[in-house]
Amino acid sequence: MSCEGFLEAYRRVGWEFVENEWLSPVWLIAKRSHILHLSNSFFTKKLIRKLYGLDSIVLYPPVLIKPYMKIDLKRKRKHSVLISKPEVLSGITMLPQILRNMPKSLSFLIIGMADSTGLSIIQALKKEGFNMKYLGYVSVKEKVKLMQTCSHYLHLGLNEPFGMTVVEAMAAGCIPIAPESGGIPEYLPKCLLYSSPNEASEKILSKTGIDNLELKLELRRIATSFSEKIFRVKFLRYFERLVSSLKKGD
């Protein structure tokens, strides 16, 4: 099957999603029984307000960044690209279009469990001559090694509420290139966002940020704001406020 066959499917899937309370009855219960609603990004906050009429507090999720903080940001990296989650829901159908204008010699490493569509796309691209290696599931230790070797991390998922792997890449000095959608633009600098497959290709081909130590330091600084320690502090703060307000209500 030609890679071109996946493009129309990609255009139909992922650009936006709409939920229905009949499909998510838990929200009907939450509206009546929960007094504290947390969202994992402002993107999610707006979506919940629009769909369910609920207001919520934004609390970004904790990210295990400690293993990536040991990576030397000055380390020279070969121009290569890491991709994770080769699944339809994670945007793998966009990959053929991004690769259209790329040299087939550029190395791509793909990790994470793949669905049938993802496997078909990987196989089709390899048949076309692209330098693509699928590693399947990898441990955190192996993931750290890959992120300290690859120059860029290409994120494909659209409308992703947060994007934990993007934050891991930021901490590792593996420059993330991600869609300008969902919650990712809330923390990733605009110079690393793309709004079309062609723009994603351009940013990778131009080796955006590959030798920019200042950018890597800034990305790591941003990533540290999502550490587990900071999450615990913020969560306890919100919980204490809630308890205090309930006591005043009594």
- Residue 132 host element (H or E): strand 132-136
- Rounded Cα distance, 225 and 128, in Å: 42
Question: Domains of the chain (ranges plus CATH)?
Answer: 9-62+227-249 (no CATH), 66-224 (3.40.50.2000)
- Quickly list H helices, the chain: 7-12, 26-33, 42-52, 95-99, 116-127, 140-147, 164-172, 197-205, 213-224, 228-249
Tens-of-pLDDT digits for all 250 residues of the chain? 344 443 444 444 443 444 444 445 555 555 555 567 889 999 999 988 888 888 889 999 999 999 999 999 999 999 999 999 999 999 999 999 999 989 999 999 999 999 999 999 999 999 999 999 999 999 999 999 999 999 999 999 999 999 999 999 999 999 999 999 999 999 999 999 999 999 999 999 999 999 999 999 999 999 999 999 999 999 888 888 777 766 666 5
- Rounded Cα distance, 220 and 188, in Å: 11
The whole-model pTM stands at 0.85
- Rounded Cα distance, 192 and 122, in Å: 24
